[in-house]
Amino acid sequence: MEDPDAEACHCPTIEEQLETARRKDAAAARVLRGQQAWHDAIVRAVHDHPDGAAIMKRAADLAELGYERWPRHA
């Protein structure tokens, strides 16, 4: 039943919700592409470094330990 004295609903329509979701998805995709570009540049720089293999091994070793257990002065 409709109440003629009630305020009109201002809820977003399905189309508006979909458009909002698409905008958020596009924004998240842009952020991800930016982060991927930084990641790729850093990995390339490490691999190009003369000690790149040792740096990557140390990073892998630390990743296995888990961040909470990293040695502070290694």
Domain assignment present for residue 37? The answer is yes
Domain assignment present for residue 5? The answer is no
Which pLDDT does position 48 carry in this prediction? Answer: 95
Which pLDDT does position 14 carry in this prediction? Answer: 96
Domain assignment present for residue 23? The answer is no
- 10-residue mean pLDDT series, the chain (74 residues): 73 96 97 96 94 92 77 59
Range of the domain at 47: 31-67
Q: Write the pLDDT tens digit of every residue in 57-68.
A: 998 888 888 766
Domain assignment present for residue 22? The answer is no
Domain assignment present for residue 9? The answer is no
Alpha-carbon 19 to chain mean position: 21
Give the number of domains in the chain: 1
Buried b (16+ CB within 10 A) or exposed e, 12-26: eeeeeeeeeeeeeee
Rounded to whole angstroms, the Cα distance separating 16 from 10 reads 12
Which pLDDT does position 7 carry in this prediction? Answer: 77
